[in-house]
Amino acid sequence: MEASATPAPLSSSAERHLAAVEALLGKIIELSGFELKFEARRSREASSPSEGPGWVVELSGPDSDLLLVSGGSLLNALEYLVLRAVRVEEELFGQISFDCQDFRRMRAEELRLMAEVAAARVIETGVPFALNSMTPRDRRVIHLALKSNTRVRTASDGAGHERRVVIYPVPESASTGRPPRR
């Protein structure tokens, strides 16, 4: 039950929440009995908020595999619980991300590949394709993966936990100008 954190100078909106995130996460780990430690660090991938989180809370330790069972559901739940409990504004949720064993990067790569395969199918058949319901983070990866593909457009459809991305073909005559995204 080790909880270590690397404090950083606070300047952005997301950064001002880091101390509270670290304190609460440390307490949860301590009280839960999990053998985990964590480190908050600036993300290496993101140079702007649209590209990804500004801060990553990396969890590791003997119990880290438990966080990744069922598609990372415990990791997702822990991230959501901590960010809500320390009152991080919803628009900043994407700026502080919890990760374990590079799960988020591998999931993003998987989603980008899924998006490309689905887009190829839509281009070939001309029929829209609805992906399974996804978290907001996963939907965002799909939208960004297909953003530069002028032969398809994406839109989110549904509500709540049933929200998903639908990939639509762009008619040949319209592919010169990018259709508006919803």
pLDDT of residue 177: 52
Cβ atoms < 10 Å from Cβ of 66: 14
Instruction: Quote the tokens at residue 19.
Output: 């101390």
Q: Which helix (H) or strand (E) holds 137?
A: helix 136-146
Pairwise pLDDT comparison (52 vs 148), residue with the higher score: 148
At 121, list the tokens: 């199918």
CB under 8 Å to 81, separation ≥6 — which residues?
28
CB proximity list for 105: less than 8 A, separation 6 or greater: 45, 99
In order, the DSSP letters of 96-108 are EEEEETTHHHHHH
- What digits encode the pLDDT tens for the residues 27-76? 999 999 999 999 999 887 654 445 566 889 999 999 999 999 998 999 99
Write down the domain spans for the chain. 15-101, 107-174
117 has a pLDDT exceeding 90: yes
Fold held by 15-101: GMP Synthetase; Chain A, domain 3 (3.30.300)
- What integer pLDDT is reported at residue 4 of this predicted model? 47
- In the beta sheet, which residues pair with residue 152? 169
Q: pTM above the 0.85 mark? A: no
* DSSP-derived secondary structure for 35-90: --EEEEEE-SS-SSTTTS-SEEEEEESTTHHHHHHHHHHHHHHHHHHHHHHTT--G
- Round the average pLDDT of the chain to a whole number and report it: 85
The tokens describing 27, both together, are 């307490």
3/71 Cα distance (integer angstroms): 24
Q: Residue 129 and residue 175: Cα distance in Å, rounded?
A: 18
Q: What order of strands is seen across the sheet that includes strand 152-157?
A: 129-133, 164-169, 152-157
- Domain 107-174 in CATH: superfamily? R3H-like domain (3.30.1370.50)
